[in-house]
Structure 1
Amino acid sequence: MPRNTPALRHVCRGCDGFARVAITTGTRNPDGTRTTLSVDCPACHGTGHTAPAVLARAGR
């Protein structure tokens, strides 16, 4: 018997699904590890997915 599959979520074009990245600052902590910053994708706000174009359209 066939199953109903959930709707596919569209992967963000800006980050290709890698919504959060760690960027090294070049400095080191006292224990020798590098200092990093976590940055979210500005297009999808860190979710990795976007709404389909037909759902995002509004107005005429």
Structure 2
Amino acid sequence: MPQPARNKPVCRDCDGFATAAITTGIRHRDGSRVTLRVDCRACKGTGYTLPANVLVQVGR
């Protein structure tokens, strides 16, 4: 089955999976695990980045 084309460039660091849930090993009183949500530093949790020609170099 053909996949729809992506209109936005995907982040190179996280491949579009911008947020990860990491378990700490500790459990809540109800038995569920404590998790931390961590966002990709490069795209700040969006999963997309700007193309290189959009970025502007500042300075000399």
Identify whether the pair has TM-score above 0.5, normalized to the shorter chain. Answer: yes
% identical aligned pairs: 57
Structure 1 gaps, min length 5: 1-6
Distance in 2 (CA, whole Å) between partners of 1:45 and 1:39 is 10
Return the index of the structure with the highest Cα Rg.
Answer: 1
After superposition, the CA RMSD in angstroms is 1.8
More helix by share: 1
**TM-score, normalising length: structure 2:** 0.80
**TM-score, normalising length: structure 1:** 0.80
More strand by share: 1
Off by >6 Å, runs of 4+ in structure 1: none
